[in-house]
Each structure stands twice: as C-alpha cells, then as structure tokens.
C-alpha cells in the first residue's frame, strides 16, 4: 500500500477531512447556477484560497473543486468538452497547496453524481456512466490527485460505475453516499444496504466508504452507527452538515457553531468513523475546533441515539430507514442534491 491515504490510515487513529466547498465559493462571489469548475482555470487564486482554508485549519485531506466536473454536469454550462482540462487544473492547484503544507496532506479528487437517472429507471446506461467517470478520473489523476473521492451518490449503480472508473484509471478511491431521505438515499438504499453493496463490489473496493451531506449532523451520525453495526473493517467516512438545515430567505442555511461541530467530530469518532470532516456550512473555523476536540478528547464508548440528539439536536426523521417504520417521516423527500 504505497498511496498517501493508505499510509495516513495506517499511522493515525483519525483523519480530519475538509468542510464545505459550495458554501466557501458562494462567499467568494460564485453565483447560483454557475459552474464552479471553470474557476479552476479562470480564477486559480480563488481556488488556491479555497484549498488553503482547510489545510491551514489542520485538515489532513481535502477535496478538489471538481464535484460537478463530469460531462453530463458540465454540458449544462456548455463545458462538456473541457472535462480533462478542468479536472486536471483543479487537481494541480490542490497538489501545489498540499505539497506546501509541510506535513502529509491528501488530495482527494472530488467526483459528484452525473445528475442523471441510471437505467432502467432513467436513460443513463452503466457503460456510459463508467465512461463519464473514467474521463473525469483521468483528469484528476493527471493533475496529481492521490485518491478519487466519489461523493453525494444516491444510486448503487452509479457508485458501482465510479468504482469501475477508478479501476480503469488505476487510482485508489473512496466513496460516500448521501442519506437524505428519512435515513435512506434518494434511491432507497439504507446504511446496511450500502455496506453490503460496497463489500460485494466486483471491482477494487474503496479505501474508505461512508456518508456525506444528507440532512443534519445528528442524522449523519445515525447513519454511521448503521455502518458500524454491520461489523465491516473498512474505514468509515463521516462528512456531515454543520448542524440542522433551516430555510432562511429562500435558501438553506446551516447554523451549527464551531462548538457543535467539535462535539460532532468526537461523536463521529466514537461512533466508528475514521475520516471525519464536514459538508454544507462547515468553514475553516469549524475545522479548527474539530481538530482541537479530536486531539484533546479521550475516546469514549459508542454513543447512543439519545446522546447524539442531546448534544447535536434531534433527528429529521423518526427512523433510520432500516426498520418497519421506514419512511414514516418523509419530510426530507424531494429535496434537491446540493454540492458540499
């Protein structure tokens, strides 16, 4: 195992990942509806600043600005012919920032969903999805990414297609899904279902797997407990949103404080996660607090759901989607995918 993430996983009990990409870019002036990947070429200084935020805050791993960098997503901005260029540029800037850190920092090449529905329900075939992810993976690899980071996936078939693309590109990978619909992914997968799917992959399995985004930080930890209950030895990733989403002036706002995310980080580790970061709303200020808490808080037994709710707030749905009352609370149904 010679890749940078495997080395880090071997030498450390926990790894601090990064926080939000979208939140930071919007604060830098990105307009809703713009493709942030263009900034990898048009505004490299902003992307350097984006990456420096988590690195300076103490993150051991951060994601490239390439979440929507596949041909299907870029086509919405007439950028489908620039997949290789935009992904390579996003990874090159990341490589430069990571190598200047003075300590091992892993560059994780972000690959978000295609935004299309896979066959047979939709029109995107497995083969076409593999090809799309492979094209993106080659760009990220050429730019110097250490691993691919597949994220915010809802369909098992799309996760499997990204896994096949990683094999074609010959690069290790990690992959997280978003459990945003009453404890399940939008396509109905439960935490237990994801573990079964990951361990049954016919391709190279991920170095780590887990959950990102979803609804609130509490919900994400309930999903992590679901992973851990399956007894898989594979490292678990927890990248939860900063607190509980609230609608403010027509957009979703996360008001979780650094103190709350520090508590979340420690609970995530105690719940069984090894790679711990934030998603929407998580800023470098949150990451500093998370790192300090992980360094100074002794490990504790696996938290109960009551302990998680008491510290981070209640759950957005009554059940985690695995039991008989799955779907009883469908409040999250129909929510749209967002970028980290």
Rounded-to-integer distance, Cα 55 and Cα 7, Å: 18
Which of 74/279 has CB closer to Zn ion?
A: 279
Long-range contacts at 249-256 (CB < 8 A, ≥ 24 apart): 252/280, 252/338, 253/281, 254/23, 254/280, 254/281, 254/282, 255/281, 256/217, 256/281, 256/282, 256/286
138 or 264: CB nearest Zn ion: 264
How many CB atoms within 10 Å of residue 105?
24
Q: Least distance (Å) from Zn ion to the CB of residue 178?
A: 8
Residue 334: phi and psi, rounded to 5, are 85, 0
Nearer Cβ to Zn ion, position 114 or 178?
A: 178
In this structure, which long-range contacts are made by residues 252-259, counting pairs with CB atoms below 8 Å and at least 24 apart in sequence? Answer: 252/280, 252/338, 253/281, 254/23, 254/280, 254/281, 254/282, 255/281, 256/217, 256/281, 256/282, 256/286, 258/285, 258/286, 258/288, 258/289, 258/290, 259/289
Tell the smallest beta-carbon distance from residue 13 to Zn ion (Å).
25
- Residue 231 CB, nearest distance to Zn ion (Å)? 28
Residue whose CB is less far from Zn ion, 4 or 213: 213
Considering the complex, what minimum distance in angstroms separates the CB of residue 90 from Zn ion? Answer: 18
Q: Does 25 bind Zn ion (CB under 5 A)?
A: no
Binding status of residue 340 toward Zn ion by CB under 5 A: yes
Q: How far is the CB of 286 from Zn ion (least distance, A)?
A: 13
* Residues in contact with Zn ion, shown as a per-residue x/- string from 36 to 65 under the rule CB under 5 A: ------------------------------
Nearer residue to Zn ion within complex by CB, 88 or 339: 339
Site for Zn ion in 258-297 (CB under 5 A): 279-280
CB of 213 to Zn ion, least distance (A): 3
* DSSP single-letter state for residue 82: G
The answer to whether 109 and 68 are in contact (CB under 8 A) is no
Query: Which CB, 98 or 280, lies closer to Zn ion?
Result: 280
What is the contact mask toward Zn ion in residues 188 to 227, using x (rule: CB under 5 A)? -------------------------x--------------
Binding footprint of Zn ion on the chain (CB under 5 A): 213, 279-280, 340
């Amino acid at each position: 195992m010679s890749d940078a993430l495997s080395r880090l996983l071997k030498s450390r009990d926990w790894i601090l990942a990064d926080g939000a990409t979208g939140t930071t870019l919007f604060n830098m002036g990105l307009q809703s509806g713009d493709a942030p990947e263009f900034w990898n070429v048009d505004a490299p200084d902003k992307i350097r600043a984006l990456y420096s935020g988590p690195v300076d805050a103490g993150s051991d791993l951060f994601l490239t600005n390439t979440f929507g960098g596949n041909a299907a997503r870029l086509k919405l901005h007439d950028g489908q012919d620039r997949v290789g260029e935009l992904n390579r540029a996003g990874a090159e800037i990341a490589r430069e920032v990571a190598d200047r850190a003075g300590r091992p920092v892993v560059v994780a090449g972000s690959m978000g969903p295609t935004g299309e529905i896979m066959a047979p329900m939709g029109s995107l075939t497995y083969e076409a999805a593999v090809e799309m992810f492979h094209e993106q993976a080659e760009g990220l690899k050429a730019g110097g990414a250490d691993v691919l980071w597949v994220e915010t996936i809802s369909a098992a078939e799309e996760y499997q297609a990204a896994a096949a693309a990683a094999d074609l590109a010959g690069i290790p990978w990690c992959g997280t899904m978003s459990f945003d619909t009453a404890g399940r992914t939008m396509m109905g997968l439960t935490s237990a279902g994801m573990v079964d799917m990951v361990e049954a992959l016919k391709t190279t399995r991920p170095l780590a797997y887990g959950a990102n985004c979803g609804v609130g930080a509490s919900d994400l930890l309930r999903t992590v407990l679901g992973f851990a209950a399956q007894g898989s030895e594979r490292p678990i990733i927890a990248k939860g949103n900063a607190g509980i989403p609230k609608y403010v002036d027509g957009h979703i706002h996360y008001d979780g404080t650094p103190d709350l995310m520090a508590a979340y980080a420690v609970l995530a580790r105690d719940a069984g996660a090894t790679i711990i970061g934030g998603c929407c709303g998580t800023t470098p200020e949150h990451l500093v607090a998370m790192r300090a808490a992980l360094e100074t808080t002794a490990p504790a037994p696996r938290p109960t759901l009551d302990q998680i709710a008491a510290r981070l707030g209640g759950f957005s749905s009554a059940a985690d989607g695995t039991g008989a009352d799955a779907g009883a609370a469908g409040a999250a149904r129909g929510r749209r995918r967002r970028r980290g």
